[in-house]
Amino acid sequence: MKFRSLLLLGAPGSGKGTQGQVLGQIPGFVHLSSGEFFRSLDPGSDVGKLFRQYSDRGQLVPDDFTIRVWQDHVQTLIASGRYRPSTDFLVLDGIPRNVNQLTQLSASLDILHVFHLSCPNREILIQRLAGRAHQGNRADDADPKVILQRIAIYEAETKPLLGAIPRERLHDIDADQMPYQVLRQILQALP
Ligand code: ADP
């Protein structure tokens, strides 16, 4: 059985995490953030160290490794009853992040809707990330060079995903709105 999924797609700072967290509070929706999952790994473990090697430079973790740890994580959620594939929607935040990941996951995911949180004004993204850096838990938000690198990788690797999504499943949403306004548009697009 494929996992029924909603995908949040957007540049760093576009609000994927904020929307994912709120949607994840709704019964029947399970928020799955690849970045959050990676950050929860023990920083002293081999997998935790590998993640930091890439994320500290603003680069994507290699696809094969990402897909493997993500699939293990989903299986753990299923085994512990936190995610029930027969009834729940997965709210994917940060994965798939390029066309290769989409291809590798297409056997396990049924992506019903894609919400593109669009913010062409990069200054807004940079300001949001810089603001978040003060909260102190993300080394990759503290360095302006790393922020620019993450935005560049989004443009080069993640944005092309939009071209691989059937038009009727794709919803463009202005990310430069209050979070409740973005949320309203997401919910309105759902049947
Ligand atoms: P943001 O979208 O704000 O940059 P995320 O929390 O989604 O942040 O990701 C943080 C970092 O985690 C990324 O820069 C990357 O190194 C790694 N990462 C997260 N998801 C993936 C993924 N699907 N594939 C490869 N690397 C990922």
Contact in structure between 28 and 134 (CB atoms under 8 Å): no
Q: To test the ligand 1 pocket, which listed residue (7, 34, 150) has its Cβ within 8 A of the most ligand atoms?
A: 34
Indicate whether residue 61 lines ligand 1 (CB < 6 A). Answer: yes
Rounded Cα gap, residues 42 and 56, in angstroms: 15
Indicate whether residue 12 lines ligand 1 (CB < 6 A). Answer: yes
> Which residues, including other chains, have CB under 8 Å from residue 123's CB and lie 6 or more apart?
none
Distance of CA 161 to the CA centre of its chain: 13
Map out the domains of the chain as residue ranges. 3-189
User: Could you tell me the distance, in angstroms and rounded to a whole number, from the CA of residue 87 to the centre of ligand 1?
Assistant: 27
CATH of domain 3-189: 3.40.50.300
Distance of CA 33 to the CA centre of its chain: 5
User: What pLDDT is recorded for position 136?
Assistant: 67
DSSP structural state of residue 174 = E
Contact in structure between 23 and 186 (CB atoms under 8 Å): yes
Contact in structure between 100 and 63 (CB atoms under 8 Å): yes
User: Could you tell me the distance, in angstroms and rounded to a whole number, from the CA of residue 33 to the centre of ligand 1?
Assistant: 9
Q: Which atom of ligand 1 is nearest to the CA of 129?
A: 3
pLDDT < 70: residue spans in the chain: 136
User: Could you tell me the distance, in angstroms and rounded to a whole number, from the CA of residue 178 to the centre of ligand 1?
Assistant: 23
- Encode pLDDT of 79-126 as tens digits: 999 999 999 999 999 999 999 999 999 999 999 999 999 999 999 999
Indicate whether residue 31 lines ligand 1 (CB < 6 A). Answer: no
